[in-house]
Chains A and B, each alone.
Chain A
Amino acid sequence: MKKLIYTLFTIVFFVIGACTDLDVVPKNRLTEDVAFLEEGSYTAYLAKLYASFMLTGQEGPAGNADITIISDEGFSSYMRAYWKAQELTTDEAVIRWTDAGIQDMNTHTWSSDNQFVRVLYYRIFFTTALCNDFLRISEPSLLDERNISPDFQNEIAIYRLEARFLRALAYWHALDLYRNVALVTTITAELPSQVPPQQIYDFIISELEACVQGLPSASEAEYGRVNSEAARMLRAKVRLNAPNYLTNPPQSIYNDVVNDVSAVINSGNFSLNPVYLYNFNADNHSSPEVIWALSQDGVASQGWGGTTFMVRAVLFENSMTATDWGVVSGWSGIRTTPEFNSLFEISDGVLDSLDSRNVLWTVDDNDQGITPRPESTQADILGEGLGYLAPKFSNISSDSAAGANSDFVDTDFPYFRLADAYLIYAEAVLRGATNGDVGTALGYINELRERAYGNSNNNITGADLTLDFILNERGRELYYEGTRRIDLIRFNKFSSRAGAEELIWEWKGAEAAGKSIPPFLEIFPIPASDLGVNGNFRQNNGY
């Protein structure tokens, strides 16, 4: 009997333990079903779509990174990578750091393995997929299922347009920089294929039409969120550059461009900031000239990319007092070339000190002033001591106070500003738009010049208003705002493309004096890592 009891006891014990339940629900993260029952989650997700352009992960300044295709999170900032692609490849900027692959951006020697080529590519498509996912979880049918209130559903309808704008923006970058990419508009497991550039272009234009129609205008939209004028600006810029992307685009694009920028200019929502540099400082969110900016906050919105990079990488530790720009130290990285400086030259070797947009410094044995350009040497760019730099962005506000944090700036990145609209108007007119006029264009350009000089002494005449002048004026007005590469290509001055009037600058093509580069370099290669996992993809010609 005793034996039997022990046996039974043991067997019962054995059986009790036998559980096969493996359904464990995450405790520390939210599943989709849980997360989107709350209205605030949609706003938080929308904020992420914007943040994807500036911040690098879920912990500021670094940590829990969005993408890890590059091992240093600071380099994975969208705007930092975008800025490098649009500026380091031109006469506006060279970087003297020696991180593997970064010099290739100065010297046009990038390969499909280059980490800076790679990180921008992955960042762009991270953002497009993030927008796709947002659009998926915010489908109106799902909102009903989750009992989201009708009022908030109307708000979400605007969020969805914002997501479509941001996705179109990212696709424009993809089209502009990598050209032959796939168009993926849903979350999918299907292997994507490259589509003709025309298809991407048409997609962007039609998405922006919906945004122009549906988004509130800047007077009604919250700061930092895109508005219908921003959608028009983006559409104008995409169309203006259409000849780069499409074979034989219709001449009518210039009329469309003028339509859009005129609507922006005449909206009455924007005016030039009397002080040029106040567009790039710690309180630039209050500048009336900014159509749409990506925001950054030194305390709550921290990152090693974005505008923190734009402020600090330009400051040279040995020769400048970084606190004058509101930051604790400079990163001694970015300089300009002598060729860019010549845009501000009034006579040989003498820079125009009256143009308030000229903030060029020569770093010449701690001599802190605007001095004539010395003889160019290799050391100008890569060495420690000499060279020019352009500290245009700062973390000091218009009342001379430093930002809240000296490591991370409060400066927003003005993605579209009125000055650009003026310049686009003039350019479109010069390129044959029939719905604008040269007189208005000249007026816009002279408004910019009067703002720069504080008087009309340096105004130009109608005879001065040529396309070449526009390119140079864009350089003076918009340098370091991430547009130079696009401009040089549009004006056919970037490479040795047929009919080009190619510009040469120091270190272009990996020669100290600079040399001509082949046209395939107008776009970047598809990163080898993507070709490695996507057999549908073919490399861009020349790489």
Chain B
Amino acid sequence: MRKLYALAVFALFSATNIYAQDITVTGKVTDSEDGTELPGVSILIKGTAKGTITDFEGNYSIDAPSDATLVFNYLGYEPQEISVANQSSIDVQMSTEAEVLQEVVVVGYGVVEKGDVTGVIKKVDEEQFNKGMISTPQNLISGKVAGVQVSGSGEPGGNATIRIRGATSINASNDPLYVIDGVPIENEAVTGSRNPLNFLNPNEIADVTVLKDASATAIYGSRGANGVIMITTKGGAVREGKASDKPIINYDGSSSVSTFSAETPILSADEFRAAIAVFDDERVDDEAVLGPVDTDWLDQVTQTAFSQQHNLSIGSNIQDGNYRFSTGYQQVNGVLNDTRTERYNVNFNISKGLLDNRLNLRFSTKNAVVNDKFGSNQVGAALSYNPTQPIYFDTSLYQNGPPAGMTGRFGGFTEYNDPLAVANPVAQSKHQKAIGETFRSINNFEVNYKLPFVPGLSIKNNIALDQKVTDNLSFSPNFIKSELRTQGQYSFERSSVQSFLYEGYLNYEKNIDAIDAKVTAVGGYSYQSWDKSFGFFRHDSLNTNAFGLDAPSPIPNSNVVIGNNAFQNRLISFYGRFNFDWKDKYLVTGTLRRDGSTRFGPDNRWALFPSFAAAWRISNEDFYEGLDRYVNYLKLRVGYGVTGNQEIEDYRYLTTYEFSTPTGSYQLGNQLINTLRPTAVDPDIKWEETTSINVGLDWEILKGKLAGSFEYYQQNTDDLIFEVAIPVGILPTDKVITNIGEMRNRGFEMDISSPIMTRRDFMWNVSFNAAYNNNEILRLDNTVAGAEETIYPRGGIAGDVGQTIQVLKVGESINSFYAYEQLYDANGDPIYEPINRTLMYKDQNNDSIINEKDLRVVNNANPDWIFGLTSVMNYKKIDFAFTFRANLGNYAYNNFSSNYGELRRLQTAVPQNIHTSALETGFEQKQILSDYYIENASFLRLDNVTIGYTIDRLDWMKARIYFTAQNVFVVTNYSGFDPEIQPSNPNDPPGIDNNLYPRARTFLGGISLTF
């Protein structure tokens, strides 16, 4: 990879045409220190793609123009350029690279050489990205970076959340800050859009850099607590070393097929008949209970989904600059009927240097339209519906005529009359419509000017406008069963966000040769504002269904609800960074950011976020000489920093009054009056503050054959923003959002990568990462001495009204499950004794009563360990890559099993299918708080396998064809659909399995053409 980089750089700066005559040059390449012969050294004629490599003895032979320059490249060694100058024999001694890690990485407001990094920063290049039908940028780096957990749903374009080093907050957001080409972007989820980042075509991303520790993220101050993801999009034309004044055109297209085949733990039609015979034998002859057919309802609401994507780009280098234009189309269909995401992209960027490259201008525009079809998730209904009933109500199927209580009047679908009975999932799936349409455009203009009077000083301005409009429409016709009472429904919602950004900063660089030191400093100002509005109207009685979503027709005097909400907030900041590098051995970085946010009251608006980091390149020390034989690179880093979190609703510091909707009025006299209510707040609410320390070690052994890093960190989040109960009576509320409590994440991370093979026709890179994290709540509440310990239930579950399965408790992790301890009989089966529950659940406090006081913490949803393994192999023209991911120690609550795992469902007036767990547990009534349902959801997943073949025989075109399989297999003991569980709302706690969107297995074939 590094070789490619070097090639690219050389290619870029040379555009020499070659007229001289060819001669044959031969020679031997050896190590300058010990004289060993170096095999596999690449030799390239500068300015061309022509080259060769050394053989096992280090010998080479190449035909080159007599005035050519040869470029010698070998991993871990300094590249060398040697003019042929009519010599026919050139022997070369190559010396080990002094600065092994030359790569440049982006950090906030600037770039640094990788070797100069003091914080914990990990860059993932395009080559390392996950491949396949990927519609969300987050999924590109899944499994690639230690301590970065990417979890997504199976939905097409479904939201993917990134958690860096665990969660730092409870109520405020845990999402990292996304910075795209220097623009921090708005990332709030809205209805109608599955994933706020879906506007960005993953194909347009050049690299993703993850800033993990506070010393790196503190420059983003109040938004840095959850880490920062810096995304750089592609610009210009840099393609596999091809020089390019002439435009490079690239086309990439693929299509895929996704299938879903999970074992569904419900009764088949035959099993259902057998179960009714046992548990409700009086009704075996009732055809409403046991119907005439076998229907696999899940099969009826799922599909084999075909998807496709096409990307086209044109890019070129121009004098002192480059440009790139790209357009893309992607359509991903889900395995659930009628679910889809579709994206159209048009992006353009150009950069140009003026005044001898002193003034650099860059303009970039990224535009996308994303159309989402949400379908109607009928998985729950499909698993519930009587498997012996037909989809369409055909009376001739029934021996005794149409059974009582059933009907086909809703469009001919089989339905039970009972209003509480589950509606026919196929009918719902076919007739309910929900779509989202999002338009997003981010435009930014950068000006970088190297000031003429002070050498090393430059000034940079960045202006950006980010606009997003999302429409969310839904429609149900008036004839389907679920709409029987409301006679159809229609709703239209529009949310729009406009964000304006201005950044201006000065950059100063100076080498102080007298003391062999280098100083860089950055200082700047930033202003970002957001204007948001959310308007909607809904009505629930349709005149006709004919026009569906597009032209709804409400009946006269029907109930129409309208509303609009507008918000505004600003963030104003001053920031600075100072780097000092002494003798290439000692590196120091300090940053400071002062943020002012409209989300807090006048006394708490401004906050200061400092950080400090130092690094010591041990391997550059004189005393280290000789030791580099074993460990050829060693760098120790320590960092400390304070970051913040301000992701809460606007105006939480200000008491405001709001009116009720018309359905929430109250009658006084003969008048119905919209009520007015205050929203009680804590006027003193302030930023969450995360203080973290990090100790890291970068190392390389075996001359770079094995490299890696090791990190230890501890981060304490104080003033946790949390909605907490107040002492009653003082304010008109029960809870306020305020700062209370503290929690800690600590853990360690390890990255190892190895270029196992670096031969010209066989390259093999393997990288592995592992991370361990432990989360603990240290303090909750402003607990006064002598007060009782408070716990906060959270994590709502399906199957009962208002039940929760998780808890916040001091000393426990934030996503701890809180359940009764199930007792088991001699056979290991759960005991069912609903009347005398002390026989069924452990009486933890021995008071002979089973109540809330007997709930206890049972594991938690956070993985202890996260692993990722990526292998990339190139053999001649074949490339082969795969990615494994694993989580260990994460538990999940199987809400599907607990909600459907009761025998009573068979016995209700309208029988429903049951989860097979009921046969094991014998639970007549559901026992949703039993720890029986808390399962270990550790897993190993082969995420991705790609094999490709490159055809480069033609001068004018290079092609690569490839095949990818996604979600190839998963190894787990978890009994649900999938051990990786994505809450439907990203702010809901993880680990509760009640959002049943099946995860598909996808096979994809594609072609990439470069002209």
Contact = CB atoms under 8 A, between A and B. Distances in A.
B661 A59 contact: yes
B410 interface: no
A301 B835 CA distance: 39
A513 interface: no
Contact of B668 (A98, A126, A224): A224
B984 to A, nearest CB: 16
Chain B contact surface mostly: loop
A43 B929 contact: no
B734 A532 contact: no
Interface string A51-69: 1001101111101101111
B790 A529 contact: yes
Given A301-B672, A531-B787, A60 B461 contact: no
B669 A24 contact: no
A498 interface: no
Contacts of B793: 71
Contact of A129 (B651, B666, B731): B731
Contacts of B359: 6
B664 interface: yes
A75 interface: yes
B556 to A, nearest CB: 16
A22 B596 contact: yes
A534 interface: yes
A530 B727 contact: yes
A24 B656 CA distance: 14
A308 B971 CA distance: 49
Nearest to A113: B852
Contact of A44 (B459, B654, B676, B732): B676
A184 B664 contact: no
Given A24-B569, A300-B665, A529-B725, A133 B782 contact: no
Contact of B666 (A51, A187, A190, A537): A51
B853 A60 contact: no
B102 interface: no
B728 A530 contact: yes
A223 B447 contact: no
A77 interface: no
Contacts of A51: 660, 664-666, 675
B447 to A, nearest CB: 7
Contacts of B789: 528, 532
Contacts of B785: 535
A153 interface: no
A378 B835 contact: yes
A184 B727 CA distance: 11
B851 A114 contact: yes
A203 interface: no
Contacts of A27: 566-568
A3 B734 contact: no
Contact of A75 (B453, B788, B801): B801
B527 A17 contact: yes
Contacts of B419: 328-329
A296 B668 CA distance: 10
A26 B668 contact: no
A26 B651 contact: yes
Interface in A420-472: none
Interface string A274-300: 000000000000000000000111011
Question: Which of B662, B666, B733, B929 has the most C-beta atoms of chain A within 10 angstroms of its own C-beta?
Answer: B666
Contacts of A7: 449, 451-453
B633 to A, nearest CB: 40
Contacts of B763: none
Nearest to A407: B485
Interface stretch (A104-112, A239-247, A348-356): A104-112
Interface stretch (A29-37, A264-272, A336-344): A29-37
A358 to B, nearest CB: 28
Given A24-B569, A61-B663, A71-B793, A10 B668 contact: no
B606 to A, nearest CB: 8
B570 interface: yes
Contact of B658 (A29, A111, A382): A29
A131 B865 CA distance: 52
B667 A224 contact: yes
A111 B852 contact: yes
Chain A contact surface mostly: loop
A101 B851 contact: yes
B420 interface: yes
Contact of B667 (A2, A109, A301, A537): A301
A485 to B, nearest CB: 20
A324 to B, nearest CB: 15
Nearest to A74: B801
A245 B234 CA distance: 76
A187 B668 contact: no
Interface string B284-307: 000000000000000000000000
B776 interface: no
A13 B504 contact: yes
B800 interface: yes
B461 A68 contact: no
Interface in B790-828: 790, 793, 796, 800-804
A541 to B, nearest CB: 15
B942 interface: no
B735 interface: yes
Nearest to B568: A24
B657 interface: yes
A261 B559 CA distance: 44
B846 to A, nearest CB: 14
B676 A192 contact: no
B16 interface: no
A72 interface: yes
A89 interface: no
A45 B666 CA distance: 10
Contacts of B674: 44, 47
A533 B783 contact: yes
Contacts of A44: 659, 673-676
Interface string A510-543: 1010000000000000001111111111010000
A267 to B, nearest CB: 19
Interface in B714-767: 723-735
B502 A99 contact: no
A248 interface: no
A406 B419 CA distance: 12
Interface in B646-696: 650-651, 654-670, 672-680
Contact of A35 (B566, B650, B676, B733): B676
A304 to B, nearest CB: 9
Given A10-B459, A71-B796, A533-B724, A66 B569 contact: no
Contacts of B17: none
Contact of B730 (A13, A129, A512): A129
B835 to A, nearest CB: 6
Interface string A368-404: 0000000000100010100000000000000000000
Interface of A: 2-3, 6-7, 10-11, 13-14, 17-24, 26-32, 35, 41, 43-48, 50-51, 54-55, 57-61, 63-64, 66-72, 74-75, 98-101, 104, 109-115, 121-122, 125-126, 128-130, 132-133, 181-182, 184, 187-192, 222-225, 295-297, 299-303, 317-318, 328-329, 378, 382, 384, 406-407, 510, 512, 528-537, 539
13 contacts: A27-B566, A55-B664, A55-B666, A55-B675, A58-B661, A71-B793, A74-B802, A126-B728, A129-B729, A129-B732, A130-B677, A301-B663, A533-B725
Given A181-B729, A295-B667, A530-B727, 14 more contacts: A20-B572, A31-B657, A43-B668, A44-B676, A48-B676, A51-B675, A60-B662, A99-B801, A125-B728, A191-B784, A382-B835, A406-B485, A528-B788, A533-B787
Interface of B: 355, 359, 418-420, 447, 449, 451-453, 459, 461, 485, 502, 504, 525, 527, 559, 564-570, 572, 596-598, 605, 650-651, 654-670, 672-680, 723-735, 781-790, 793, 796, 800-804, 834-835, 849, 851-853, 904, 907, 909, 925-926, 929
